[in-house]
Chains A and B, each alone.
Chain A
């Protein structure tokens, strides 16, 4: 079947540099001395740690439970001992730390008990929870939880398996499709059933003929309508909206998602991970990482999640003139601020950069409004307008120009004749807008709480006043009924008894007097003290006198030292004991 292909607007053709690592078969990376498994796989959510320092963990055992709407579980990539649960730098442009579980491998690589899921018999919600607990996230880079993308199980017509891999240098998906096509298609089958799609389309850039062949062979065995389509190599053909456009002709409007138009995309790596999880019970604990760039031995390795980048680099032997390492592709990746960072589920490539391969950016010149960026933008935006508004911090205007539809692909900056780091401006504007939204949400909450507190205080005041009024009325009524006969009132002159308030005070005084009379005898009689008690009192007196002479003694002490003050003496004794 020949499918009609469509074009997306814009796009660029950077030097692909795929040949360096495309012929290197996937090899398992050696076990590092310490695995650093971050509980956070993306900036959105963090798993809840369920292991303690010193625990023995098995390969595939859950170490972090999914927390929150967008949470997924995290697993031990090999068997070993939990050495630490601590803050460790994360693979993030900020270089900031996040909670990580440090596992020292024992080398036995012993699996936890694996239970596959018969997803066709199990309820759909159960299957989605299974994927969440297997830690399945999108492996194309964003690490978005797959069970959320599977949605409600209806309304999706076309399931797209994304084998685009349009960024230069990266070949991990290419190798994966060449070597594990059967697994990918098995995963696609599961996703097809879970999402309730009517057909599967695999989109692969036409610069990967071997991968296309392998996937065609694998898809032939599938009982569902599946098609492998070679799409023209044009960056960013692997972008979700761009691939949807090319394969189906559907143009997703600004601010909408593919799923609203009956299309959902999954990366080939994600499909394989789903297959391993459902059919073998293996959680997501490893991924393929391309090591390339300015290295002697470019390669593709199957790397355990949590392997520090510095442990991987010697495998590729970076050349001495390497000045930095880029995580991800050259268009969208970022220079690693720290080489101790672990590989995440979304880390697809580490590129050694040298001044010769990646010359440092030329100085930024003024925008000349040539419009080259708008012609290159695959998201149909006007990058120069966005640039003006982001630069002048006019974020409201930037949002009006659909800033949030920018996929940060870097096409605009790639073609800009003035070498303006356009994407940096968009990222800056986006994070400022997010921060503002967070502040706004917090202030709305604060306003609500403040208003409720005022309301509550007002209500409490009213309730108290009502209570007091009721009590006063009650006493008044009581007094009125038993007026002259009451013996408490006998002592009170009759003129005062007429005034209920005064009568009340008098009654209270009388009660207090009576109570005092009851309490008084409880005090020890000074005249009948036993010799021990007398001695104790004297000792206390002596102590108090000496402390009164001390410079920091409280001024009250000397006043209490008069002999008949027996009760105060015990009080001050208690005070000194305390």
Chain B
């Protein structure tokens, strides 16, 4: 009887020690869920979700403060991916946060630009180059199309140009069965 108790207590001690060691040795740093959500978000950093960037929105989703349908650039596909990841129901994009648009990049009309640097300060990804009283220009491959530079521009010289289809980014279309008239 006593030896059985001692053996059980011994096993409990050993296992407890092993678990305790493992919890310290293999501790996971940070919240991996936030990282996973952040990986799905499009990194436009546009703030349309009402959070200052994609990471804060990911954090808010992880904390249960924000819903998964507040990201217009991510669109329906992004919401589906988030729903999959978090095991939630899919819901359509919330209208108050905006609508899904084709991808575009900012373009500065260099004739009108007065070189006020306001757009440079607004750009979340440093994709605008220029200096005070010098013409500014957008580095198109780095532009995320967040539109944050549109509002600060005092002369409204920034427009959003949809990304053109080229041989490099052209995609094969989904095969559609052609309906033909019977001969």
Contacts and interface: CB of A to CB of B under 8 A. Distances in A.
A3 interface: no
Interface stretch (A130-138, A229-237, A422-430): A422-430
Given A364-B177, A425-B175, A446 B44 contact: yes
Contacts of B171: 428, 431-432, 434-435
Q: Is the interface of B mostly helix, strand, loop or mixed?
A: loop
Interface residues of A, number: 36
Q: Is the interface of A mostly helix, strand, loop or mixed?
A: helix
Interface stretch (A89-97, A142-150, A272-280): A89-97
B162 to A, nearest CB: 15
B170 interface: yes
Contacts of B42: 439, 443
Interface in B125-183: 125-127, 141-142, 144, 165-175, 177, 180
B125 A430 contact: no
B54 A447 contact: yes
Nearest to B41: A443
A445 B140 CA distance: 13
Interface in A405-443: 421, 424-425, 427-428, 430-432, 434-435, 438-439, 442-443
Contact of B43 (A421, A447, A452): A447
Nearest to B144: A446
B53 A435 contact: no
A96 B172 CA distance: 12
B43 A450 contact: yes
Contacts of B127: 449
Contacts, number: 78
Nearest to A451: B55
Contacts of B41: 443
Given A94-B167, A446-B43, A453 B124 contact: yes
B168 A428 contact: no
Interface of A: 40, 43-44, 90, 92-94, 96, 98, 360, 363-364, 421, 424-425, 427-428, 430-432, 434-435, 438-439, 442-447, 449-454
Given A43-B170, A443-B144, A451-B55, 17 more contacts: A94-B170, A96-B166, A360-B180, A364-B175, A421-B175, A428-B172, A428-B175, A431-B172, A439-B42, A442-B144, A443-B41, A443-B43, A446-B125, A447-B43, A450-B43, A450-B45, A450-B54
10 smallest CB-CB distances across A and B, nearest first, come from A443-B43, A424-B175, A446-B43, A431-B171, A427-B172, A449-B125, A94-B170, A428-B172, A447-B43, A431-B172
